[in-house]
Amino acid sequence: MRRKTPLHVQVSMIVSCFMALVYVGGGLFLMASSSSFGFLKAGTWERILLGVLLVGYGCFRAQRAWKIYKDISES
């Protein structure tokens, strides 16, 4: 018989998936948009670097969420 997954583990997985999408989307938006929001001018290397870092961190978060999902499905 399969054990029920604790609620805090399920919530952690859902939040990790959501935040991974937020970070990747934010990074892509920074790199692709021309809106500066008074923070970084469009097309500067700092803006591209920040976008790449956000996408990379989003991928890291997605990998961690996938690991939690696999641990849940195996138990």
The three-state (H, E, C) secondary structure of the chain, written as one string:
CCCCCCHHHHHHHHHHHHHHHHHHHHHHHHHHCCCCCCCCCCCCHHHHHHHHHHHHHHHHHHHHHHHHHHHHHHC
Q: φ and ψ at 40, to 5 degrees?
A: -135, 135
How far apart CA 10 and CA 5 sit, in angstroms, is 7
Does residue 37 carry a pLDDT above 80?
no
Q: What is the pLDDT at residue 1? A: 44
Mean pLDDT of the region 7-16? 87
63/36: higher pLDDT: 63
Q: What is the pLDDT at residue 74? A: 78
How do residues 43-71 score in pLDDT, each as one tens digit?
888 899 999 999 999 999 999 889 888 88
